Amino acid sequence: MPLDSIKYPNNLTMGNSEDEEDIDSKSSPMSYKERRREAHTQAEQKRRDAIKKGYDTLQELVPTCQQPDVSGYKLSKATVLQKSIDYIQYLQMQKKKQEEERNALRKEVVALRIMQTNYEQIVKAQQSQPGHTETRISDEVKFSVLQAIMDELFSTFSGVSVNNFSELSAGVFSWLEECCKPQTLKDTVFQVLRRHHIQMRG
């Protein structure tokens, strides 16, 4: 009898179809879990690669990380992080120090400009006096005038704090800006010169 002429029961045919559906339904969740596992593995690998790249970059940028460990082995991640933190703190301290030095230099420039202006005004005032003649003045008189001017300035400088170098530096610049103004220095020098002129004439 030909095989295609054999009639199978309906329930047998349906049973085969249900078995195939059961197999598909059981295999589909496993494939989904595998896909999730694979995606998770790839994401984890990307994360590890990114972390490794970050550590490698730190070792290239931070000078102290470019040296091998004392034991000769490669630096650990914890060591790389600590050395990077130390180097960043060092750079911050250097930046702060440079800013302080820059501010100090700016104040010094201002003070020097004030002194330059004062000297120029003093010279002009001396040259513009009526009856001004070139006379030779002894070194002793010059020193006496200079000493008198310095004594006048020191009397105002005595209020500057000298507890430490920082306070001294700040106090000196403040003193220059407040007590060495052009008009103040001009008045001081004129008073000293007037006294010496009177003494020399007397």
Cβ atoms of 169 and 117 closer than 8 Å: no
| CA atoms lying within 13 Å on the CB side of residue 30 | 5
pTM for this model (two decimals): 0.43
Cβ atoms of 121 and 182 closer than 8 Å: yes
Domains defined along the chain, listed by start: 21-91 (4.10.280.10), 98-127+138-201 (no CATH)
What pLDDT does 46 receive? 92
Q: Which residues of the chain have pLDDT under 50?
A: 1-3, 6, 8, 11-15, 23, 25-27
DSSP 8-state symbol, 4: G
The tokens describing 85, both together, are 């933190």
What pLDDT does 68 receive? 66
Q: Indicate the length of the chain as a whole number.
A: 202
